[in-house]
Structure 1
Amino acid sequence: MERRYFERKKGRVEIIPMIDIMLFLLVFFIMITLQMIPDKGLNLQLPASSQAKLLPHPHYTINIEKDGTVNVKGHHYALAALQKMLASDGNPGKTQITIAADKTVPFQDFVDVMDACQKAGVSDIGIAAKPH
């Protein structure tokens, strides 16, 4: 009887690690895709304009609700917190903002939000309106 010190075994393809890697790739793909979905904002009754134009997709859509609450991407902000958030956005001079205010919002609330944006250094501000 001959003894072998180094027996050769046939290689096996393990499927479980491959399934784990595919699940990780799927999770990363879903997370990245969710971040690419644009912020559509709230359902507001926008004022109408005969000269309304389609603007490019902004970095932030600032919604001003009927009660004067400022909402950005699902978070409520006071004006000082909004200004701080915009100022810490990297380069606020290149940040694009669209302000969407309900048509019943007092004009002073709209101006206060614009002032907070300008104090943060944002200069590219659009105003949302629906076309006639």
Structure 2
Amino acid sequence: MPVKLQGGSGEDHEDEARIEIVPLIDIMFFLLASFMMVSLTMTQVHRVNLKLPTMATSDKQQKAPPLHLAVDEHGVVTWDTKIVTPSEVTERLKALPPNEDTRVMIAADQNCLHHQVLSIMDAVRAAGIDKVSFETKNPR
């Protein structure tokens, strides 16, 4: 809608009110890039907080990520933050599509009991998975 302004000399000036769209597009691209960068920094694996034992000869694995099981110091077993029993571990692993490259990583708290870790290892092997490893941290 044009706005008519009367000048002091009696002339009519017509100025249109307009929205500048270029700065609006710049702001939208900036916000898009900012949200993308923030979302990339938020990709973390949420797991149970454990005190992992150290091992000097550990090596990093370069293949597809393994399935993660955790045993805390009280013997509670979790699979991706969901508490499970050893029999549920076997059932869930058997329900997965058969793949000979399926690997399981067991992260056990250094203060948990040995038989609790072995019961999880037996549950994994009962599902037919032989590639089992234990998660440790580097002493550095």
Whether TM-score is above 0.5 comes out as yes
C-alpha contact (below 8 Å) 1:61/1:73 kept by paired residues: yes
Counterpart residue number, 1:123: 130
Sort the Cα spacing of 1:124 and 1:40 in 2 relative to 1 into closer, same or farther, 3 A: farther
Sort the Cα spacing of 1:124 and 1:39 in 2 relative to 1 into closer, same or farther, 3 A: farther
RMSD: 2.1
Moved more, 56-65 or 118-127: 56-65
**Greater RCO (CA < 8 Å, at least 6 residues apart):** 1
TM-superposed CA distance for 1:50, in Å, is 1.0
Sort the Cα spacing of 1:40 and 1:97 in 2 relative to 1 into closer, same or farther, 3 A: farther
Question: 2:83 and 2:60 mapped to 1: Cα distance?
Answer: 26
Name which one, 1 or 2, has greater alpha-carbon Rg: 2
How many residues are treated as equivalent by the alignment?
98
Question: 2:67 and 2:45 mapped to 1: Cα distance?
Answer: 8
C-alpha contact (below 8 Å) 1:46/1:128 kept by paired residues: yes
TM-superposed CA distance for 1:60, in Å, is 1.1
The match for 1:50 among 36, 46, 56 is: 56
Question: 1:50 and 1:59 mapped to 2: Cα distance?
Answer: 21
- Runs of 4+ aligned structure 1 residues displaced above 6 Å come to none
**Could you say what secondary structure the match of 1:121 adopts?**
coil
Q: With the length of structure 2 as denominator, give the TM-score of the two structures.
A: 0.63
Which segments of 5 or more consecutive residues in structure 1 lack a partner in the other structure? 1-32
Counterpart residue number, 1:86: 93
Question: 1:39 and 1:64 mapped to 2: Cα distance?
Answer: 16
> Once the two structures are aligned, what percentage of the paired residues are identical?
20
